[in-house]
Amino acid sequence: MTVDELVELLDALGTEPSEPGVPTDGLSALDHALQCASELAGRRPHDTELQLAGLVHDIGHQFGPDDHHGRIGAEMVRPLLGARVAGLVEAHVPAKRYLVATEAHYRACLSADSVRTLALQGGALAPAEAAAFVSSPWAGDALVLRRADDAAKVPGRSVAPLAHWVPVLRAAAR
């Protein structure tokens, strides 16, 4: 995949609902991706890999079922954006499952569709799974990504357009 092909895939998200199978309520999947990247730029302004992971974290939705979209997306972006971005994309689903398992209030903060997909993704992590997640190299940043993912669902929120991210993608491309 090239940067131009990735940008085309992201641009196509502008016509997709932010949560597959759910009416858009004014929020496309591209809006969600841009909001997530923007959230991360605010939280970690010097961590462009984390920001790009936020931008592309849901790209796998276009190519497979929800319970596999993190892995699919990671496989797609790894050759272009590297191991860390891919690892974060893959880890954003286990991060949700980890937070559900370890923070009593977290489930109540999830959108209705995130609660629905949680069941498809395996529910809360079991203790051994949680221990494995927390020991993974991307765990801390995956939790930051997950919280940005949750915050990036505001219809009409003004953030930088996709064109803003194209030079960042080009600079990060391998």
pLDDT tens-digit readout, 87-105: 999 999 999 999 999 998 9
Q: What is the per-residue pLDDT across 134-150, written as a single tens digit (0 to 9) for each?
A: 999 999 999 999 999 99
What is the arithmetic mean of pLDDT over 108-113?
86
Q: Is 157 helix (H, G, I), strand (E, B) or coil?
A: coil
Q: What is the per-residue pLDDT across 17-61, written as a single tens digit (0 to 9) for each?
A: 655 554 446 789 999 999 999 999 999 999 999 999 999 999 999
Q: Classify each residue of 37-75 as buried b or exposed e, where b means 16 or more C-beta atoms within 10 Å of its C-beta.
A: bbbbbebbeeebbbbbbbbbbbbbbbeeebebbbebbbb
**Global pTM?**
0.91
Cα separation, 92 vs 142, in Å, equals: 5
Residue 170 has pLDDT above 50, yes or no: yes
What is the overall mean pLDDT for the chain?
92
Cα separation, 38 vs 140, in Å, equals: 19
Cα separation, 19 vs 32, in Å, equals: 9
Cα separation, 109 vs 153, in Å, equals: 12
What is the arithmetic mean of pLDDT over 54-76?
93
Structural domains of the chain, ranges and CATH numbers in brackets: 3-172 (1.10.3210.10)
pLDDT band at 64 (very low <50, low <70, confident <90, very high): confident
Residue 71: closest CA among 83, 60, 82, 85: 60
Cα separation, 104 vs 47, in Å, equals: 29
Cα separation, 11 vs 5, in Å, equals: 10
Res 111: pLDDT? 85
Q: What is the per-residue pLDDT across 147-159, written as a single tens digit (0 to 9) for each?
A: 999 999 999 999 9
